[in-house]
Amino acid sequence: MKRPALLVFALLACVASLYGQNYKFTSLDYPGGDLTTGRGINDSGDIVGAYRVVPPRHALLIKSGQYIPIAPDSILGLDYSEATNINNRGHLTGQMADDNGLFHGFLVRDGQVTILDYPGASETFALGISDTDIVAGYWDILDQDFNPVEIHGFTWQNGVFTRFDLPGAAVTAIFGINARGDLAGVWQSDINSDVEHGFACPKTTPCYSFDAPVPGTFLTQADEINAQGQVVGVYVGTDFVWHAFLKDGTKFTTLDFPGSTGTGAYGINSAGQIVGKYFAADGSTHGFLAEPTVTGKPQ
């Protein structure tokens, strides 16, 4: 697993086909900004991510069509920050960078910012939150050249960290947790492997691994799982292009923003609304919302 370039991986609407169902895509763009991302969405349709007017990017909430910077007068407004998920209580997680470029997780609950650092870790990434405020993510240990020598998943609740490693994996990173605590993420057989596999761990069934069923795929990243067990994420194959995906049972579908040069899906709520980011032909980064439709009309 490479160090977070990957782990990092006006209104415009178009429609794309998906199993005979349609998705309406809407671009998400912070007014006056040159970068916007969508990272998580709750069942009320509140979206979190990041925006940038001048570098670096900062954590963002999109609520009822309003673009709202998150805690801009706190430590989150000093350097890089990005909100990564939001639960149905409005509590959210994210990651921020310090002056040395090292990452720390954070939790924002009722307006209060809590920094989350796994004990002894070089970096901590908080990427998901359940409705009972279980935070999930991963932590790493870096060598003197800032290369990872260990990567492990974690959950956190009420001040207590719990390490999580997928059985048989040398590397585990949790990227998503849904309302009831199902997990989704990435694993590798070796810290230096160039191949990454997706996994999901539902509460009621054993964990399972999967790869995008596309020849030449070497990266499958499961970013979120919803209450119905649908998983969204990113895969990369021989074209070295990001492709968003939706895994619904045994069905696996590419779900790219129309006209984009790369798309990543990061969040999905109970209604099947999906958020993520896409890259335009001019190299700019935009957030998106994809809403399932029936006979051309949003559900």
The reported pTM is 0.93
Q: So what's the pLDDT on residue 220?
A: 98
- The helix/strand/coil state of 75 is helix
13 lies in some domain: no
Q: Considering the domain boundaries, does residue 14 fall inside one?
A: no
| Cβ 50 vs Cβ 67: under 8 Å | no
Looking up residue 69, the CATH number of its domain turns out to be 2.120.10.30
Q: Which residues of the chain have pLDDT under 70?
A: 1-21, 294-299
* Token duo for residue 265: 């899906």
Asked if residues 86 and 77 have their Cβ atoms less than 8 Å apart, the reply is no
Structurally, how many domains does the chain consist of?
1
In a domain, 4, yes or no: no
Residues 148 and 196 sit within 8 Å (Cβ to Cβ): no
Phi and psi of 276, rounded to 5°? Answer: -175, -150
* Range(s) of the domain holding residue 108: 20-298
In a domain, 10, yes or no: no
The answer to the question of residue 28 being in a domain is yes
Q: Tell me if 6 is assigned to some domain.
A: no
> Is 103 among the domain residues?
yes
Q: What is the pLDDT of residue 113?
A: 98
Residue 36 belongs to a domain = yes
pLDDT of 101-113, one tens digit each? 999 999 999 999 9
pLDDT given at position 21: 53
